[in-house]
Amino acid sequence: MRVLTRKRKLSKAMDEIASITLWGFNLMFLLLIIWILYTILSKGLPKLTPNFLVELPDEINIGGGIGPVLFNSFYVLFISLIISIPVGVGAGIYLSEYAQKNKFTFLLRMSVESLASVPSVVFGLFGMAIFVEYFHIGLTIIGAAVTLALLNLPVITRVTEESIRALPIGLREASYALGTTKFECIRTIVLPAAFNGIVTGICLVAGRAYGESAVIILTAGTSTSGRMWDFNLFSPGGTLAVHLWYIQSEAIVPDAKEIADKAAAVLVLVVLMINFLLRIPVWFKEHKFKI
Amino acid sequence: MKKSNLKLINTTLKVRQSNKSFNVNKFRRNFSNILFKYFCLLSSSILFITLFSIIFFIGKTGILVFKDVPLQTFLFSTNWTPEEHHFGAAAIIIGTFVLTGMTLLIATPISLAIAVFLSEIAPNWLKRIMRPMIDLLVGIPSVVYGYLGMTVLIPFIRRITGVDMGDGILAAALVLSLMVIPTITRISDDSLTVLPNEYREASYALGSTRLQMIWKVILPGAKDGIVTAIILGMARAIGETMAVVMVIGNVAQLPITLITPTSVLTSNIVMQIMNVQSDSTWHNALYMMAFLLLLISFILIACIRLIRNKGEQTI
């Protein structure tokens, strides 16, 4: 009995120690995240001026801005989303609503899963092989946007499929019972009900595409056309993420360090904003449930 | 839910009204119905076509390297000096595996500690802070991690070790760990959280402490999910490019010490592809490296599928 009690005491002590260690460890990790965000933002934000956001980058002199690259970031993101949202959502609808259990569906699922795991640099090389070497259009915004769209497709497909699958089957049955066709059922019942999930997924993808750099370097290059508001799809389209890499490791501008600090702060700030947007539908949902 | 019910009624009304001009509408409705089906089919075929054209394009160009370089040299020689026509990728391949191994060695214990804490110990308010914070880490662009590595971590490593460079496996593994931890943590956390509460209650009823419950019941119970999480983390570590490029040094040599500048597949591709002529052996060798990356990621996906199938069989 005494041995047992001693053992029990020992395991209780171990339990206490483990709990305290885990608490301490996790609080440290939380502090680490906060410290990282603080480091990035505190280095860049104080020096940030509105001019920096719209001015042209300079290769030699002090005082270059990030205007065209910031514009390209959003422009490439926007075009890639225009391409990937209809296709990705369509594929998600097919997999959840139409696909029968056969070999073709199995192959489709395999390709979605495999595509999702293909490293982004391989997508970049693929885009380069097609747009630069096959079509000979050089490093362009459109090449980057299409490649980025392909990179994001599997994620949008999976998110759409999952959020449609989560809907109760009764919704669909009720709609069919009223005589709607499958398309009307999907358009008026299924998609609105799965809207929140799909939007959350798209926001996630947008954040990823916005920060993606390997694909952009290989398909759009590191430079820009050197003009602000250049909507030409065939001009080179270095984005902010690429510019940060370029300025940090390759550039010869004297104030490269300061530009890098500011560019990183802007990058993270936009990511924080996208994350905030992401929370809104979730927040709405929770709020609705409470009422 | 209520909103969709309303929509349902609206649709019905529309359908009823449309019955009046039955024939024209019926044709239009059927037509759009079929059109939409084919649109969805087309979209999903695009995914399928993309995958196969990636394999085809990368493989087709990559395989050309073996015209000039024998397979053994490419895989087993550590001499990568393309300027002098030596194309041995072994050092780079080994670098990739060493870096991935180091990353997992650092990231796995940390991620598991966080996942266990989140699912078993943390009070609800802390969960609500920590989970979004960890998700936020996923969203930060990889160049920002690379930038942090260059401006904070590498000077720190220089100061501690006294070397001039500081680039290498250690810096890259630390940066990558930070990027992989959220992936492993969130998936393990999910698979721990979905375990039925009966497991925990039964374990407590047998008189175990919380640590014993976690160690002997919860962790083994979620084993499959945790292994899947680690494999997905591994896939992310192998495929990560820009953050690694910025801190690894980009010299194609064996990683003899943790602070030797070295190179991995992804970084080597990105740094060199811009400067080579297409159709050269060098160009093809880089595509072959990309093909190796593809192969590795497919093997990892196959492992995950195996684990999932095994799990379905036991249930």
DSSP string, B167-217: -SHHHHHHHHHHHHHHHHHHHHHHHHHTS-HHHHHHHHHTT--HHHHIIII
Residue B269 touches chain A, beta carbons under 8 Å: yes
Look at B141 and A123 and tell me if their CB atoms are within 8 Å: no
- B288 confidence band (pLDDT: 50, 70, 90): very high
Cα three-residue angle A219-B181-A242, rounded to 5 degrees: 20
Q: What's the pLDDT at B279?
A: 81
Contact A66, A57 (CB under 8 A): yes
Among candidates A280, A252, A265, A248, which has minimal Cα distance to A46?
A265
In this prediction, residue B228 has a pLDDT band, given cuts at 50, 70 and 90, of: very high
pLDDT of B310 reads 83
Which residue would you say has higher pLDDT here, A62 or A157?
Answer: A157
Separation of alpha carbons B302 and A87, rounded Å: 26
Residue A85 token pair: 């949202």
Mode of pairing for the β-strands spanning B86-87 and B80-81: antiparallel
Give me B208's structure tokens: 């175990």
pLDDT computed for residue A27 by the predictor = 94
Mean pLDDT of B135-161: 90
Residues 136-195 of B with CB under 8 A from A: 136-137, 139-144, 146-148, 150-152, 178
Question: How far is Cα A229 from Cα A79, in angstroms, rounded to an integer?
Answer: 15
**Which ipTM did the prediction report?**
0.88
Interface contact A183-B15, CB threshold 8 A? no
Chain A residue whose CA is closest to B41: A94
CB–CB of B242 and A213 under 8 A?
yes
The residue to which tokens 């059922």 are assigned = A185
Distance (Å, rounded) from C-alpha B202 to C-alpha A155? Answer: 39
Domain ranges of chain B: 71-314
Q: Is any Cβ of chain B less than 8 angstroms from the Cβ of A164?
A: no
Query: In Å, how far are A13, A181, A252, B100, B182 from B167, measured between CA atoms?
Result: 43, 61, 20, 16, 24
Residue A1 has pLDDT above 80, yes or no: no
| CB atoms A15 and B212 under 8 Å | yes
Percent of chain A with pLDDT over 90: 34
Q: Based on C-alpha coordinates, what's the Rg of chain A?
A: 25
- State the pLDDT at residue A291: 41
Question: Domain B71-314 maps to which CATH number in 3.40.50.300, 3.20.20.100, 1.10.10.10, 1.10.3720.10?
Answer: 1.10.3720.10
- In whole angstroms, what is the distance from residue A264 CA to residue A259 CA? 8
What is chain B's alpha carbon radius of gyration, rounded to the nearest angstrom? 26
Q: What does the mean pLDDT of chain B come to?
A: 87
Q: Which of residues 79 through 118 in chain B touch A, CB cutoff 8 A?
A: 110, 113-114, 116-118
CA-to-CA distance for B297 and A6, rounded, in angstroms? 50
pTM: 0.87
Band of residue A290 on the pLDDT scale cut at 50, 70, 90:
very low
Chain position carrying tokens 């933002």? A41
Q: Which residue of A has its CA nearest to B2?
A: A193
Evaluate if residue B1 carries a pLDDT over 60: no
Would you say residue B12 has pLDDT above 80?
no
pLDDT in tens, A40-51: 999 888 888 888
Q: Do A126 and B3 touch (CB under 8 A)?
A: no
Q: Is pLDDT above 50 for B13?
A: yes
pLDDT tens sequence across A228-238: 777 888 888 88
d(CA A242, CA A260): 11
| CB of B36 less than 8 A from some CB of A | yes
Residue B8 pLDDT greater than 70, yes or no? no
Q: Which residues of A touch B270 (CB under 8 A)?
A: 121, 124, 214, 217-218
CA separation for the pair A101, B242 (Å, rounded): 40
- Residue A241 and residue B51: Cβ atoms within 8 Å? no
What does the pLDDT look like over B38-76, one tens digit per residue?
999 999 999 999 999 999 999 998 999 898 888 888 888
Q: What pLDDT does B314 receive? A: 61
Residues of B in contact with A268 (CB under 8 A): 140, 144
Residue B143 to residue A108, Cβ atoms within 8 A: no
Q: Which of A23, A213, A274 sits opposite B143 (nearest CB)?
A: A213
3-state secondary structure of B86: strand
For B294, name the nearest residue in chain A, comparing CA atoms only.
Answer: A118
* pLDDT one-digit tens code per residue, A166-222: 899 888 889 889 888 889 899 888 998 888 888 888 888 888 889 888 999 999 888
